[in-house]
Amino acid sequence: MPHSPEEKKRAITRLRRIRGQVDGLERAVEAGSECAPVLQQLAALRGAVNGLMAEILDSHLREEFTQVATDPKIRKQHARSIDEVVALVRSYLK
């Protein structure tokens, strides 16, 4: 869960953007739009949700694992490991 006010604001902004995409998608389906544009919107929606999930996962991992270490050297190692994990997860979410 986003903890800082800035992270919360970013998450809420993304959620509102996603809500707008869902609303647009609903209107397109109701209007009987062609399949290709609907599928394109679905892919964009999936990307937006995956981006939000990656952002919240990043925040969660940093909160959980960097707070554990008090030694700055270990914190730095944890931060590098988290960077690697988040990059890997983001690559799978694309």
Q: Could you give the number of structural domains in the chain?
A: 1
Q: Which residues make Cβ contacts (< 8 Å) with residue 79, sequence separation at least 6?
A: 62, 66
Tell me the pLDDT tens digit for each residue of 26-84: 999 999 999 999 999 999 999 999 999 988 888 888 888 777 777 888 888 888 888 99
Please report, for the domain that includes residue 37, its CATH number. Answer: 1.20.58.1000
What range does the domain containing 65 cover?
A: 5-93
Q: Other CB atoms closer than 10 Å to residue 58's CB: what's the count? A: 19
Amino acid at site 24: G
Residue 43 has which token pair?
Answer: 């892919």
Indicate if the pLDDT at residue 1 is higher than 70: no
